[in-house]
A and B are shown apart, each in its own frame.
Chain A
Amino acid sequence: MKKLLLVFLSMLSFLFVQSQDLLDLLGEEEVTQEFVEASFKTTRVINVQSLENVAGGVLDFKISHRFGRLNGGAYELFGLDQATMRFGFDYGINDWLMVGVGRNSFEKTYDAFFKAKVLRQQKGKKNIPLSILWASGITAKTIKRSDNNEIDFKHRLAYVHQLIIGSKISKGTSFELVPTVVHRNLVATADENNLVYIIGAALRQKLTKRIAINAEYFYILPNQVADNIKNSLSIGFDIETGGHVFQLHFTNSTSMSDKGFLTETNGDWLDGDIHFGFNISRVFTVKR
Protein backbone atom coordinates (compact mmCIF):
# COMPACT_ATOMS: atom_id res chain seq x y z
CA MET A 1 0.00 0.00 0.00
CA LYS A 2 2.72 2.39 1.07
CA LYS A 3 4.73 1.43 -1.95
CA LEU A 4 1.84 2.33 -4.19
CA LEU A 5 1.45 5.64 -2.43
CA LEU A 6 5.12 6.44 -2.90
CA VAL A 7 5.01 5.50 -6.56
CA PHE A 8 1.99 7.71 -6.93
CA LEU A 9 3.72 10.59 -5.17
CA SER A 10 6.84 10.33 -7.27
CA MET A 11 4.67 10.22 -10.39
CA LEU A 12 3.05 13.40 -9.17
CA SER A 13 6.36 15.14 -8.62
CA PHE A 14 7.39 14.02 -12.10
CA LEU A 15 4.24 15.53 -13.56
CA PHE A 16 4.79 18.70 -11.59
CA VAL A 17 8.27 19.16 -13.00
CA GLN A 18 6.90 18.75 -16.50
CA SER A 19 4.06 21.24 -16.16
CA GLN A 20 6.23 23.99 -14.73
CA ASP A 21 6.20 27.21 -16.73
CA LEU A 22 9.16 27.58 -19.00
CA LEU A 23 9.35 31.29 -18.27
CA ASP A 24 9.88 30.52 -14.58
CA LEU A 25 13.34 29.28 -15.56
CA LEU A 26 14.39 32.89 -16.07
CA GLY A 27 13.72 33.57 -12.42
CA GLU A 28 12.23 36.64 -10.85
CA GLU A 29 12.13 39.46 -13.32
CA GLU A 30 13.57 42.82 -12.45
CA VAL A 31 11.12 45.37 -11.12
CA THR A 32 11.02 48.28 -13.51
CA GLN A 33 10.77 51.87 -12.43
CA GLU A 34 8.00 53.72 -14.19
CA PHE A 35 6.68 57.26 -14.18
CA VAL A 36 2.99 57.75 -13.55
CA GLU A 37 1.52 59.34 -16.65
CA ALA A 38 -1.70 60.93 -17.86
CA SER A 39 -2.76 62.48 -14.55
CA PHE A 40 -4.57 65.14 -16.57
CA LYS A 41 -5.53 65.01 -20.24
CA THR A 42 -3.57 68.09 -21.19
CA THR A 43 -1.16 70.67 -19.76
CA ARG A 44 -3.94 72.85 -18.37
CA VAL A 45 -6.72 71.69 -16.05
CA ILE A 46 -8.95 74.53 -17.28
CA ASN A 47 -7.09 77.81 -16.78
CA VAL A 48 -4.37 76.59 -14.44
CA GLN A 49 -1.28 74.55 -15.28
CA SER A 50 -1.78 70.83 -14.68
CA LEU A 51 0.71 68.18 -13.57
CA GLU A 52 1.40 67.33 -17.20
CA ASN A 53 3.93 68.75 -19.64
CA VAL A 54 3.99 68.24 -23.38
CA ALA A 55 6.51 65.50 -24.13
CA GLY A 56 9.98 66.41 -25.39
CA GLY A 57 9.94 67.48 -29.04
CA VAL A 58 6.16 67.92 -29.12
CA LEU A 59 4.42 71.19 -30.00
CA ASP A 60 0.97 71.82 -28.55
CA PHE A 61 -1.14 74.44 -30.32
CA LYS A 62 -3.93 75.72 -28.11
CA ILE A 63 -6.91 77.84 -29.02
CA SER A 64 -9.18 78.98 -26.21
CA HIS A 65 -12.33 81.09 -26.09
CA ARG A 66 -14.31 82.62 -23.26
CA PHE A 67 -17.72 83.93 -24.22
CA GLY A 68 -19.75 86.62 -22.47
CA ARG A 69 -21.80 86.06 -19.34
CA LEU A 70 -24.72 83.66 -19.25
CA ASN A 71 -26.81 86.29 -17.43
CA GLY A 72 -26.66 88.47 -20.58
CA GLY A 73 -29.81 86.54 -21.43
CA ALA A 74 -31.31 85.69 -24.81
CA TYR A 75 -30.54 89.15 -26.25
CA GLU A 76 -26.79 88.41 -25.95
CA LEU A 77 -27.48 84.75 -26.77
CA PHE A 78 -26.27 83.92 -23.26
CA GLY A 79 -22.91 85.51 -23.86
CA LEU A 80 -22.13 83.93 -27.22
CA ASP A 81 -22.25 87.35 -28.93
CA GLN A 82 -19.02 88.33 -27.19
CA ALA A 83 -15.87 86.30 -27.17
CA THR A 84 -12.30 86.74 -26.09
CA MET A 85 -9.70 84.33 -27.29
CA ARG A 86 -6.20 83.17 -26.51
CA PHE A 87 -3.97 81.21 -28.79
CA GLY A 88 -0.70 79.78 -27.69
CA PHE A 89 2.13 77.45 -28.53
CA ASP A 90 3.59 75.15 -25.90
CA TYR A 91 6.74 73.21 -26.68
CA GLY A 92 8.45 70.40 -24.78
CA ILE A 93 12.20 71.00 -24.73
CA ASN A 94 12.68 67.65 -23.03
CA ASP A 95 10.60 65.38 -20.84
CA TRP A 96 10.87 67.64 -17.79
CA LEU A 97 10.89 71.17 -19.22
CA MET A 98 8.34 72.94 -21.39
CA VAL A 99 8.01 76.54 -22.51
CA GLY A 100 5.02 78.39 -23.91
CA VAL A 101 3.89 81.70 -25.36
CA GLY A 102 0.40 83.02 -25.93
CA ARG A 103 -1.68 86.01 -26.79
CA ASN A 104 -5.03 86.78 -25.17
CA SER A 105 -7.36 89.28 -26.82
CA PHE A 106 -8.62 90.26 -23.34
CA GLU A 107 -6.66 93.47 -22.59
CA LYS A 108 -4.39 92.53 -25.52
CA THR A 109 -2.20 90.48 -23.22
CA TYR A 110 0.94 88.56 -24.21
CA ASP A 111 2.25 85.83 -21.97
CA ALA A 112 5.25 83.54 -21.75
CA PHE A 113 6.08 80.83 -19.24
CA PHE A 114 8.13 77.77 -18.45
CA LYS A 115 7.09 74.73 -16.45
CA ALA A 116 9.56 72.20 -15.04
CA LYS A 117 8.96 68.82 -13.44
CA VAL A 118 10.97 68.94 -10.23
CA LEU A 119 9.79 65.62 -8.82
CA ARG A 120 7.87 63.02 -10.81
CA GLN A 121 5.35 60.59 -9.36
CA GLN A 122 6.67 57.08 -9.95
CA LYS A 123 6.38 53.48 -8.88
CA GLY A 124 8.51 50.37 -8.99
CA LYS A 125 11.67 49.88 -6.95
CA LYS A 126 10.94 53.09 -5.13
CA ASN A 127 7.54 54.68 -4.81
CA ILE A 128 7.15 58.44 -5.05
CA PRO A 129 3.47 59.21 -4.54
CA LEU A 130 3.38 62.77 -5.85
CA SER A 131 4.71 65.12 -8.47
CA ILE A 132 6.03 68.64 -7.90
CA LEU A 133 6.29 71.11 -10.76
CA TRP A 134 7.47 74.67 -10.87
CA ALA A 135 5.92 77.14 -13.29
CA SER A 136 6.85 80.79 -13.76
CA GLY A 137 5.44 83.23 -16.25
CA ILE A 138 5.29 86.83 -17.28
CA THR A 139 2.39 88.75 -18.83
CA ALA A 140 2.39 92.06 -20.67
CA LYS A 141 -0.91 93.93 -20.97
CA THR A 142 -0.63 96.05 -24.13
CA ILE A 143 -4.12 97.60 -24.37
CA LYS A 144 -4.13 101.44 -24.53
CA ARG A 145 -5.19 103.12 -21.34
CA SER A 146 -8.62 104.71 -21.30
CA ASP A 147 -7.07 107.99 -20.11
CA ASN A 148 -4.62 107.86 -23.04
CA ASN A 149 -1.69 108.43 -20.67
CA GLU A 150 1.43 106.59 -21.73
CA ILE A 151 2.98 104.43 -19.02
CA ASP A 152 6.34 102.73 -18.86
CA PHE A 153 6.31 99.26 -20.35
CA LYS A 154 7.51 97.81 -17.04
CA HIS A 155 4.25 98.94 -15.46
CA ARG A 156 2.38 96.75 -17.89
CA LEU A 157 4.10 93.61 -16.63
CA ALA A 158 3.10 91.04 -14.05
CA TYR A 159 4.82 87.87 -12.89
CA VAL A 160 3.33 84.58 -11.71
CA HIS A 161 5.20 81.86 -9.82
CA GLN A 162 3.55 78.58 -8.92
CA LEU A 163 4.34 75.26 -7.36
CA ILE A 164 2.08 72.53 -8.65
CA ILE A 165 1.95 69.67 -6.16
CA GLY A 166 -0.31 66.76 -6.92
CA SER A 167 -0.92 63.12 -7.50
CA LYS A 168 -2.77 60.68 -9.70
CA ILE A 169 -4.33 58.79 -6.83
CA SER A 170 -6.16 56.25 -8.96
CA LYS A 171 -6.68 55.46 -12.62
CA GLY A 172 -9.41 58.08 -12.91
CA THR A 173 -8.73 60.56 -10.12
CA SER A 174 -6.02 63.21 -9.92
CA PHE A 175 -5.69 66.34 -7.83
CA GLU A 176 -3.25 69.18 -7.35
CA LEU A 177 -2.60 72.03 -4.94
CA VAL A 178 -1.15 75.19 -6.39
CA PRO A 179 0.48 77.73 -4.04
CA THR A 180 0.85 80.86 -6.13
CA VAL A 181 2.35 84.32 -5.93
CA VAL A 182 1.46 87.01 -8.44
CA HIS A 183 3.43 90.25 -8.63
CA ARG A 184 1.80 93.11 -10.48
CA ASN A 185 4.15 95.97 -11.23
CA LEU A 186 1.28 98.44 -11.22
CA VAL A 187 -2.03 98.27 -9.34
CA ALA A 188 -5.04 100.59 -9.62
CA THR A 189 -5.17 101.90 -6.04
CA ALA A 190 -2.87 102.07 -3.04
CA ASP A 191 -5.21 99.69 -1.18
CA GLU A 192 -4.22 96.83 -3.40
CA ASN A 193 -1.08 94.77 -2.92
CA ASN A 194 1.42 94.42 -5.72
CA LEU A 195 2.31 90.99 -4.41
CA VAL A 196 -0.69 88.68 -4.05
CA TYR A 197 -0.67 85.27 -2.38
CA ILE A 198 -3.13 82.71 -3.67
CA ILE A 199 -3.75 79.04 -3.00
CA GLY A 200 -5.34 76.97 -5.72
CA ALA A 201 -6.71 73.46 -6.00
CA ALA A 202 -7.78 71.38 -8.98
CA LEU A 203 -9.37 67.98 -9.44
CA ARG A 204 -9.81 65.63 -12.39
CA GLN A 205 -12.21 62.69 -12.38
CA LYS A 206 -12.48 60.47 -15.43
CA LEU A 207 -16.02 59.52 -16.38
CA THR A 208 -15.08 57.26 -19.29
CA LYS A 209 -11.75 56.50 -20.96
CA ARG A 210 -11.97 59.65 -23.05
CA ILE A 211 -14.16 62.01 -21.02
CA ALA A 212 -13.23 63.60 -17.71
CA ILE A 213 -14.74 66.23 -15.44
CA ASN A 214 -12.47 68.94 -14.03
CA ALA A 215 -12.79 71.65 -11.41
CA GLU A 216 -10.41 74.31 -10.15
CA TYR A 217 -10.66 76.98 -7.47
CA PHE A 218 -8.32 79.78 -6.40
CA TYR A 219 -8.53 81.33 -2.97
CA ILE A 220 -6.97 84.79 -2.72
CA LEU A 221 -5.74 85.32 0.83
CA PRO A 222 -7.69 88.19 2.46
CA ASN A 223 -6.99 91.95 2.23
CA GLN A 224 -4.80 91.87 -0.85
CA VAL A 225 -6.97 92.91 -3.79
CA ALA A 226 -9.87 95.28 -4.53
CA ASP A 227 -13.26 94.40 -3.03
CA ASN A 228 -14.88 93.55 -6.36
CA ILE A 229 -12.33 90.82 -7.11
CA LYS A 230 -13.66 87.30 -6.72
CA ASN A 231 -12.00 83.90 -6.37
CA SER A 232 -11.82 82.08 -9.70
CA LEU A 233 -13.94 78.93 -9.95
CA SER A 234 -14.17 76.80 -13.11
CA ILE A 235 -15.87 73.52 -13.86
CA GLY A 236 -15.60 71.66 -17.13
CA PHE A 237 -15.22 68.55 -19.23
CA ASP A 238 -12.31 67.15 -21.21
CA ILE A 239 -13.14 65.22 -24.36
CA GLU A 240 -10.24 63.49 -26.02
CA THR A 241 -10.23 62.34 -29.64
CA GLY A 242 -6.83 61.02 -30.69
CA GLY A 243 -4.54 64.01 -31.23
CA HIS A 244 -7.07 66.61 -29.98
CA VAL A 245 -8.36 67.42 -26.55
CA PHE A 246 -11.52 69.52 -26.36
CA GLN A 247 -12.12 71.21 -23.02
CA LEU A 248 -15.57 72.74 -22.45
CA HIS A 249 -16.19 74.66 -19.27
CA PHE A 250 -18.01 77.25 -17.22
CA THR A 251 -16.01 79.85 -15.33
CA ASN A 252 -16.42 83.22 -13.64
CA SER A 253 -13.08 84.39 -15.11
CA THR A 254 -12.84 86.26 -18.40
CA SER A 255 -9.08 86.29 -18.75
CA MET A 256 -7.09 83.26 -19.81
CA SER A 257 -3.67 84.62 -18.86
CA ASP A 258 -2.45 83.48 -15.44
CA LYS A 259 -2.27 86.91 -13.84
CA GLY A 260 -5.71 87.77 -15.23
CA PHE A 261 -7.80 84.87 -13.98
CA LEU A 262 -5.92 84.77 -10.69
CA THR A 263 -6.18 88.43 -9.65
CA GLU A 264 -8.74 90.10 -11.95
CA THR A 265 -11.77 87.82 -11.84
CA ASN A 266 -14.81 89.94 -11.08
CA GLY A 267 -17.67 87.63 -11.99
CA ASP A 268 -19.87 86.13 -9.28
CA TRP A 269 -21.20 82.62 -9.87
CA LEU A 270 -24.26 83.29 -7.70
CA ASP A 271 -25.21 86.31 -9.83
CA GLY A 272 -24.91 84.29 -13.02
CA ASP A 273 -21.67 86.00 -14.12
CA ILE A 274 -20.65 82.73 -15.70
CA HIS A 275 -18.78 82.42 -18.98
CA PHE A 276 -19.01 79.42 -21.23
CA GLY A 277 -15.65 78.66 -22.81
CA PHE A 278 -13.48 76.07 -24.48
CA ASN A 279 -9.85 75.15 -25.01
CA ILE A 280 -8.77 73.06 -27.96
CA SER A 281 -5.38 71.41 -27.87
CA ARG A 282 -3.73 69.85 -30.90
CA VAL A 283 -0.29 68.25 -30.63
CA PHE A 284 2.33 67.92 -33.34
CA THR A 285 5.43 65.79 -33.03
CA VAL A 286 8.13 68.18 -34.22
CA LYS A 287 11.28 66.35 -33.21
CA ARG A 288 11.78 62.67 -32.40
Chain B
Amino acid sequence: MKTKLGLGIGFCLIVFFSSISAIAQNGEKYFTKDGHVSFYSETKIETIEADNHKATSVLDSENGKMEFAILIKAFEFEKALMQEHFNENYMDSDEFPKAIFKGAIANIDEVNFGEAGTYNVRVEGDLTIHGVTQAVSAEGTLEVDGDGGIKAVSEFPVKPADYDIKIPSVVVDNIAEEMSVKVNIDYKVFKR
Protein backbone atom coordinates (compact mmCIF):
# COMPACT_ATOMS: atom_id res chain seq x y z
CA MET B 1 0.00 0.00 0.00
CA LYS B 2 2.75 2.34 1.02
CA THR B 3 4.71 1.61 -2.16
CA LYS B 4 1.68 2.26 -4.34
CA LEU B 5 1.20 5.60 -2.67
CA GLY B 6 4.85 6.38 -3.24
CA LEU B 7 4.56 5.52 -6.90
CA GLY B 8 1.48 7.65 -7.23
CA ILE B 9 3.14 10.67 -5.72
CA GLY B 10 6.18 10.06 -7.83
CA PHE B 11 4.08 9.94 -10.97
CA CYS B 12 2.40 13.21 -10.03
CA LEU B 13 5.78 14.77 -9.51
CA ILE B 14 6.97 13.64 -12.93
CA VAL B 15 3.88 15.11 -14.55
CA PHE B 16 4.40 18.30 -12.53
CA PHE B 17 8.02 18.72 -13.53
CA SER B 18 7.49 17.85 -17.16
CA SER B 19 4.74 20.44 -17.32
CA ILE B 20 7.15 22.99 -15.86
CA SER B 21 9.64 22.07 -18.51
CA ALA B 22 6.90 22.43 -21.12
CA ILE B 23 6.13 25.91 -19.80
CA ALA B 24 9.81 26.75 -19.86
CA GLN B 25 9.83 25.87 -23.54
CA ASN B 26 6.82 27.98 -24.27
CA GLY B 27 8.75 30.85 -25.85
CA GLU B 28 8.91 30.75 -29.61
CA LYS B 29 11.86 29.27 -31.37
CA TYR B 30 13.07 30.69 -34.64
CA PHE B 31 15.21 29.00 -37.26
CA THR B 32 16.80 29.20 -40.67
CA LYS B 33 18.47 26.72 -42.97
CA ASP B 34 19.62 29.18 -45.59
CA GLY B 35 21.27 31.96 -43.61
CA HIS B 36 23.86 34.14 -45.27
CA VAL B 37 27.31 34.23 -43.68
CA SER B 38 30.25 35.83 -45.46
CA PHE B 39 33.80 36.86 -44.70
CA TYR B 40 36.00 39.51 -46.15
CA SER B 41 39.76 39.90 -46.13
CA GLU B 42 41.40 42.99 -47.52
CA THR B 43 45.08 43.78 -48.02
CA LYS B 44 46.86 46.14 -50.38
CA ILE B 45 47.46 43.23 -52.76
CA GLU B 46 44.26 41.29 -52.73
CA THR B 47 40.66 41.30 -51.60
CA ILE B 48 39.18 37.93 -50.75
CA GLU B 49 35.49 37.41 -50.18
CA ALA B 50 33.44 34.28 -49.71
CA ASP B 51 29.72 33.72 -49.23
CA ASN B 52 27.81 30.91 -47.62
CA HIS B 53 24.05 30.74 -48.11
CA LYS B 54 23.49 27.51 -46.26
CA ALA B 55 24.03 28.48 -42.61
CA THR B 56 21.61 26.85 -40.19
CA SER B 57 20.68 28.57 -36.97
CA VAL B 58 18.14 28.37 -34.16
CA LEU B 59 17.19 31.23 -31.83
CA ASP B 60 15.18 30.64 -28.66
CA SER B 61 13.26 33.79 -27.76
CA GLU B 62 12.59 32.51 -24.23
CA ASN B 63 16.19 32.62 -23.04
CA GLY B 64 17.97 34.25 -25.98
CA LYS B 65 19.99 31.14 -26.75
CA MET B 66 21.40 31.11 -30.23
CA GLU B 67 23.22 28.41 -32.21
CA PHE B 68 24.77 28.32 -35.65
CA ALA B 69 26.18 25.51 -37.79
CA ILE B 70 28.03 26.51 -40.95
CA LEU B 71 29.28 24.03 -43.53
CA ILE B 72 32.77 25.18 -44.49
CA LYS B 73 32.66 23.65 -47.97
CA ALA B 74 29.56 25.72 -48.72
CA PHE B 75 31.62 28.94 -48.79
CA GLU B 76 31.76 30.13 -52.39
CA PHE B 77 34.65 32.16 -53.74
CA GLU B 78 35.02 34.17 -56.89
CA LYS B 79 38.06 32.11 -57.90
CA ALA B 80 37.76 28.33 -58.06
CA LEU B 81 41.35 27.79 -57.01
CA MET B 82 40.91 29.97 -53.93
CA GLN B 83 37.98 27.84 -52.88
CA GLU B 84 40.04 24.68 -53.34
CA HIS B 85 42.93 26.10 -51.33
CA PHE B 86 40.57 27.39 -48.62
CA ASN B 87 39.21 23.88 -48.01
CA GLU B 88 42.38 21.95 -48.72
CA ASN B 89 45.18 24.07 -47.25
CA TYR B 90 43.66 26.36 -44.66
CA MET B 91 40.44 24.95 -43.17
CA ASP B 92 41.07 21.19 -43.53
CA SER B 93 37.39 20.90 -44.35
CA ASP B 94 37.34 17.11 -44.53
CA GLU B 95 38.56 16.97 -40.96
CA PHE B 96 36.58 19.96 -39.65
CA PRO B 97 33.50 20.18 -41.87
CA LYS B 98 31.60 22.78 -39.82
CA ALA B 99 32.00 25.98 -37.89
CA ILE B 100 29.73 26.01 -34.81
CA PHE B 101 28.57 28.86 -32.62
CA LYS B 102 26.78 28.26 -29.32
CA GLY B 103 25.82 31.25 -27.28
CA ALA B 104 23.10 33.61 -26.23
CA ILE B 105 21.87 37.16 -26.56
CA ALA B 106 23.19 38.74 -23.40
CA ASN B 107 20.59 41.50 -23.25
CA ILE B 108 17.58 39.36 -24.17
CA ASP B 109 15.43 41.29 -21.66
CA GLU B 110 15.60 44.33 -23.92
CA VAL B 111 14.08 42.50 -26.87
CA ASN B 112 10.32 42.26 -27.18
CA PHE B 113 9.61 39.51 -29.66
CA GLY B 114 5.95 40.44 -29.66
CA GLU B 115 6.50 43.97 -30.87
CA ALA B 116 7.82 45.02 -34.26
CA GLY B 117 11.02 47.06 -34.07
CA THR B 118 14.77 46.98 -34.32
CA TYR B 119 16.66 45.99 -31.21
CA ASN B 120 20.39 46.31 -30.59
CA VAL B 121 21.74 43.10 -29.14
CA ARG B 122 25.00 41.74 -27.82
CA VAL B 123 25.65 38.06 -28.50
CA GLU B 124 28.19 36.10 -26.44
CA GLY B 125 29.25 32.53 -26.76
CA ASP B 126 31.73 29.97 -28.05
CA LEU B 127 32.79 29.90 -31.68
CA THR B 128 34.42 26.73 -32.98
CA ILE B 129 36.34 26.94 -36.26
CA HIS B 130 38.94 24.47 -37.53
CA GLY B 131 38.50 22.45 -34.33
CA VAL B 132 39.47 25.36 -32.05
CA THR B 133 36.95 26.98 -29.70
CA GLN B 134 37.19 30.62 -28.67
CA ALA B 135 34.90 32.80 -26.57
CA VAL B 136 33.55 35.61 -28.75
CA SER B 137 31.11 38.47 -28.47
CA ALA B 138 29.51 40.52 -31.20
CA GLU B 139 27.17 43.47 -31.53
CA GLY B 140 24.24 43.21 -33.87
CA THR B 141 20.60 43.99 -34.46
CA LEU B 142 17.40 41.99 -34.36
CA GLU B 143 14.65 43.34 -36.55
CA VAL B 144 11.32 41.91 -35.42
CA ASP B 145 8.73 42.36 -38.18
CA GLY B 146 5.78 41.47 -35.95
CA ASP B 147 4.70 38.90 -38.50
CA GLY B 148 6.67 35.94 -37.23
CA GLY B 149 9.94 36.90 -38.95
CA ILE B 150 13.15 38.19 -37.43
CA LYS B 151 16.09 39.60 -39.33
CA ALA B 152 19.40 39.24 -37.52
CA VAL B 153 22.43 41.18 -38.70
CA SER B 154 25.93 41.31 -37.25
CA GLU B 155 29.50 41.95 -38.22
CA PHE B 156 32.49 40.97 -36.13
CA PRO B 157 36.21 40.29 -36.59
CA VAL B 158 37.82 36.84 -36.65
CA LYS B 159 41.56 36.25 -36.63
CA PRO B 160 42.63 33.06 -38.44
CA ALA B 161 45.61 32.76 -36.07
CA ASP B 162 43.22 32.34 -33.10
CA TYR B 163 41.86 29.19 -34.70
CA ASP B 164 45.18 27.62 -35.59
CA ILE B 165 44.74 28.47 -39.29
CA LYS B 166 48.26 28.93 -40.58
CA ILE B 167 49.04 31.38 -43.35
CA PRO B 168 52.35 30.62 -45.09
CA SER B 169 54.86 33.42 -45.50
CA VAL B 170 54.56 33.51 -49.32
CA VAL B 171 50.95 34.70 -49.14
CA VAL B 172 51.16 36.59 -45.86
CA ASP B 173 50.69 39.89 -47.74
CA ASN B 174 47.61 38.58 -49.58
CA ILE B 175 45.57 37.49 -46.58
CA ALA B 176 44.48 39.84 -43.83
CA GLU B 177 45.40 39.07 -40.23
CA GLU B 178 41.85 39.86 -39.29
CA MET B 179 38.82 38.90 -41.36
CA SER B 180 35.49 40.60 -41.13
CA VAL B 181 32.62 38.13 -40.74
CA LYS B 182 29.11 39.23 -41.67
CA VAL B 183 25.97 37.42 -40.60
CA ASN B 184 22.63 38.08 -42.22
CA ILE B 185 19.80 35.78 -41.14
CA ASP B 186 16.07 35.75 -41.83
CA TYR B 187 14.60 33.70 -39.00
CA LYS B 188 11.21 32.10 -39.31
CA VAL B 189 9.05 30.67 -36.52
CA PHE B 190 9.85 27.06 -35.83
CA LYS B 191 6.77 24.82 -35.82
CA ARG B 192 6.99 21.32 -34.52
Query: A interface vs B, CB < 8 Å?
Result: 2-3, 5-7, 9-11, 13-14, 17-18, 21-23, 25-26, 29, 32, 34, 37-38, 55-58, 171, 209-210, 240-243, 283, 285, 288
Contacts and interface: CB of A to CB of B under 8 A. Distances in A.
B14 A37 contact: no
Contact of A283 (B20, B81, B171): B81
B162 to A, nearest CB: 19
Interface residues of B, number: 45
Contact of B89 (A18, A210, A285): A210
Interface stretch (B71-79, B108-116, B137-145, B177-185): B71-79
A37 B88 contact: yes
A241 B171 contact: yes
B17 A209 contact: no
B56 A209 contact: no
Interface in B95-131: 102
A89 B88 CA distance: 25
A22 B60 contact: yes
B80 to A, nearest CB: 3
B171 A22 contact: no
A18 B21 contact: yes
Interface in B58-85: 58-60, 65-67, 69, 71, 73, 78-81, 84-85
Given A23-B67, A288-B78, A10 B18 contact: yes
Interface string B1-41: 00100110111011011101100110001010100000000
B58 A37 contact: no
Contacts of A18: 21, 24
A23 B79 contact: no
A11 B17 CA distance: 7
Contact of B25 (A10, A17, A38): A17
Contacts of B79: 58, 283, 285
Contacts of A9: 14
A2 B3 contact: yes
Contact of A242 (B6, B14, B88, B171): B171
B154 interface: no
B170 interface: yes
Contacts of A241: 168, 170-171
B94 interface: yes
Given A285-B80, A288-B78, A10 B14 contact: yes
B21 A55 contact: no
A47 B89 CA distance: 25
